[in-house]
Amino acid sequence: MELLLLLVSLLALCLALALWWVLGRGGRRSRNRVRRAQRGETDAERLLEECGYSVVERQLSAGWEIYVDGVPRDAQVRADLLVESGDGRRLIAEIKTGTLAPNPTYPPTRRQLLEYWFVFEPDGLLLVDVEAGTVVEIEFAVN
């Protein structure tokens, strides 16, 4: 009986340590991801300013209605930055890092940019690749 109690206690301790390890590592990864994103936003703003843009608003949001089977539903979207160019144009700037996301033809990025174009109706869109140090203007052809 004592041996069984010892084994159950040991198993419980191992499970607790495993849970602590998994949650701790996940928490560190999450914190690292947030720090990376914050550094990316700071670096992106600096890059945009070097390219002649000034930041007007950060994390701007807007809403609109979509209809699902005829029933209106509220939808929200949030963009990274609203910037103004030297000639007074207002553009939405989307900040991306990594290998796929900065590519405007990558489907999730393209859809996000299209959503910004539709909802915010800006004078233009900018895709900022922080790691590559590039800012590209995106336009959509409308027939």
Domain that holds residue 50: 2-138
Residue 66 domain-assigned (yes or no): yes
pLDDT of residue 41: 82
Q: What pTM was estimated for this model as a whole?
A: 0.73
Residue 134 domain-assigned (yes or no): yes
pLDDT of residue 73: 96
Structure tokens at 56: 């007007």
The mean pLDDT values, 10 residues at a time, for the chain of 143 residues are: 65 60 63 70 92 96 94 96 96 92 92 95 95 93 75
Tokens 């499970």 appear where?
15
Number of domains in the chain: 1
pLDDT of residue 58: 95
Residue 87 domain-assigned (yes or no): yes
Residue 99 domain-assigned (yes or no): yes
* DSSP 8-state assignment for residue 89: -
Neighbours of 85 (CB within 10 A): 17
Residue 98 domain-assigned (yes or no): yes
Residue 143 domain-assigned (yes or no): no
